[in-house]
Chain A
C-alpha cells in the first residue's frame, strides 16, 4: 500500500513538473524579443493595484536574468512603485512568482550563482595552495613550513572575523539587515562600516542582496568576497617572510583585517563607499577598482613594505645566500595563481555576463604579456631569462589587470601587460637594491607598485565600450581618452589609500610589538622558524 502511494506521488510529481516546464517554454516562445518594447508601452499604473502581472512583464522579468538586471523592474513604474499584485481575492495565484518579485528577490539565478560558486573556490585555490607554494618555494628550506602555516592561519582567522563582523563592515550599512547593536549605518559614513551590521552573519541568506547582485545569493557573494579578504593579508607574508613570530603575525593580521582591510573595502566596494565611483553616485572620489587593485594589492604591498621596515632585515641579509630553495614549488604556485585569478577577476562581475566575459579576456592578455616581457628584461639586462622571471611576470600581469579587467578593452590590457613586465621588474631589480630594504619575497615591488600602476592605468584605459556601467555615474569621467578625468580620480584614490595603508600599518605594528613583540630570538631565526615555531620540518630524510 505504502509503495503504491509512493509511486502515485512520483508519477503525479513528474507530470506536474513536465506541465510547468511546458508552460515555461510556451512563455518563452510567446515573449520573443519585443517583450521589452511591449512592456514599455504599458501606461504607468497607480501603485499597488490588484492587477496581476501580464505575460510581457513576466517575460521581461525573465530577460533580466540574462542581462543581470533587476527582475522587479518590469513590475514597477518610473518612481519605483509596484504596479502589480500577485494575489487575487486573497489567494496567491503563483507563489513562486510572488516570492521572486517580492520586496526582495528571494531566490538566486542558477547560472550567475553557479559561476560565483566556482569563482569562490578558484579564489580560495589562489591562497591554498597557490600563494602558499609560490611563497613557500621562495624562502629557505628551514622556513618553508612557516609560510604554509601563516597562509593557513590567515585563512581560518579571516573567516572567523568575516562571519563575526567583517562582512557587515565592508558590505553592510545603509539598508542591509540590522545586528544586535541596533544600527544599520556606518560608523564613519562611506569610510568605516559598523561591525554591528550583519553581526554573526545575521540576515545573510541564500537570497540575493540587490545592493550588490540581483541574481547571486548573498551568502555566496559573501563567501566570494571572503576569499579576497583571505588572500590580502596572506600577501603581506611575502614582505616579512622568515623573520616574524607566529604570535606576532596572529595579532598583527587580526587588527589589520579589522581596521585596514575592512575600511579600504568599505570605501571602495561598499554600496555607499566614498571611493566607489561606479556604483555610488554620491561618491567623494569617483574611483574604479574592479577586482581589488587598491583593496587587495596596494593594501598588502604597501602594508608589507611598512611592516618590513619596522621589522628590520633578516639576519645575514646582504651576506648570506637567500636564494629560493625550490623554484619548482614557486612555479607550481604561480601557475595555480593564474588559474585561480580567473575567479578573482572574472568572478568580480558578480554574474556570468558580458562584463565577466570581457574580464576573462583582458586578464588572459595582460597576464600572458606580463609573463613574456619580464623574463625578456632578465635576458636583455642580466643575460639569462629566469624561471622566477616568468612566474613574477605572470603574477605582475595579474596584479596590474586586477583593478582594470572589467573596465578596459583587450587593447588596453595589452599595454597594461607590457607595463606589468617592466615597472615591477625595475623595482625588483633596481629600486629595491637602492633602497636597501629586505622586502623578502618582493610583495611590495609586485603587489604594492603593481597594484598602484594598475589603479592608475585603469584611469587611462577604462572605456565605456568595455563596461556599460561606466556610462552612468562616471559618464563625465570616462571619456574614452588616455588622459581622461578618470585618471585624476584614480590618482586621488591611490593617495587616500596610501595614507590609510601606511598610517594604519605603523599603528598596528607598534601595538603588536608592545603586546607580543615582533621578531623571534636570533637563535630561532638562524635555526629556522619551522622546527622552532611549528615543531616540524619541511623535508625529512
Chain B
C-alpha cells in the first residue's frame, strides 16, 4: 500500500476529487493548511498598512491506495491540480505497513 499526500491550491480541490473518483479511488482525507514553498509569501497593503503574508492557504489531501493504483492516482492529481503557475503544490508518496477497517477488521488492501 502507498500513502499519497498532495498539497494543492484550494480552488483545485473539486477537480482533484472528481479525477480521483473517475479512476476508482473511494476515499480521502482533506485538511485546510497553510505553508510556503518556492512561491514564498508576499507583501500586501491594506488601507495603507503594509504587511507580509508568509504562509499561504493550501489544501492537503491524504489517501492510502493499493500499490497498483498509486501511479494512476498520482497522475490524476497532477493532471487535475496543474495550472502551470508557481504555487501549484507537491505530491508525496510513502509506503504503508498496515491498514485496518475498524468496523469489519479487514486488513491490508481490502481495508483501503
Contact B48 A432, beta carbon cutoff 8 Å: yes
Closest to A321 in B: B51
Residue ranges of A at the interface with B (Cβ–Cβ < 8 Å): 317-323, 388, 428-433, 438, 442
Q: Are B51 and A433 in contact (CB under 8 A)?
A: no
Q: Mark B64-91, 1 if CB is under 8 A from A, else 0.
A: 0000000000000000000000000000
Interface centre among B44, B45, B48 (most CB of A within 10 A): B48
CB–CB B47/A429 < 8 A = yes
Most buried by A among B45, B46, B47, B49: B47
Alpha-carbon separation in the docked complex, A438 to B50 (Å): 11
Q: B48 and A321: CB pair below 8 A? A: no
In the complex, given contacts A322-B51, A428-B47, what are 7 additional A-B residue pairs having Cβ atoms less than 8 angstroms apart? A321-B51, A322-B49, A323-B46, A430-B48, A431-B48, A433-B45, A433-B49
Q: Are B52 and A433 in contact (CB under 8 A)?
A: no
> Chain B interface (Cβ within 8 Å of chain A)?
44-53
- Report chain A residues within 8 Å CB of B46: 322-323
Roughly how many angstroms separate A388 CA and B48 CA in the complex, as a whole number? 13
A441–B77 CA distance with the chains assembled, in angstroms? 44
Name the residue on A nearest B43 (C-beta): A318
* A321 adjacent to B53 (CB under 8 Å): yes
Majority secondary structure, A binding face = loop
Chain A residue nearest in CB terms to B47: A428
Q: Which residues of B contact A321 (CB under 8 A)?
A: 44, 51, 53
Assembled-state Cα–Cα distance A322/B46 (Å): 8
Bound CA span A429–B46, Å: 8
Bound-state CA distance A309–B44 (Å) is: 23
Contact present for B53 and A429 (CB under 8 Å): no
Distance between Cα atoms of A438 and B49 in the complex (Å): 8
Q: List 13 A-B contacts (CB under 8 A).
A: A318-B49, A318-B50, A318-B52, A319-B52, A321-B51, A322-B46, A323-B46, A388-B47, A428-B48, A431-B48, A432-B49, A433-B45, A433-B50
Please measure, in the bound complex, the distance between the C-alpha atom of A430 and the C-alpha atom of B49, giving whole angstroms: 9
Chain A residue numbers with a CB within 8 Å of B45 are: 433
B48 touches A433 (CB 8 A): yes
List of B residues within 8 angstroms of A428 by Cβ: 47-48
The reply to whether A442 and B50 form a contact with Cβ atoms under 8 Å apart is no
Alpha-carbon separation in the docked complex, A522 to B52 (Å): 21
Which residues of chain B come closer than 8 Å to A320, judged between CB atoms?
A: 51
Minimum CB–CB distance from B91 to chain A (whole Å) comes to 29
Closest to A319 in B: B52
Contacts of B47 in A (CB 8 A): 388, 428-429, 432, 442
Q: Which residues of A sit under 8 angstroms from B44, Cβ to Cβ?
A: 321
In angstroms, Cα B93 to Cα A300, docked, is 60
Complex interface: chain A residues within 8 A of B53 (CB): 321
Residues of B within 8 A of A438 (CB): 49
Question: Is there an interface contact between B48 and A319, defined as CB atoms closer than 8 Å?
Answer: no
Question: Which residues from chain B contact A317 at a C-beta distance below 8 Å?
Answer: 49
Please tell me if the beta carbons of B51 and A319 are within 8 angstroms of each other in the complex: yes
Chain A residues with Cβ under 8 A from B48's Cβ?
428-433
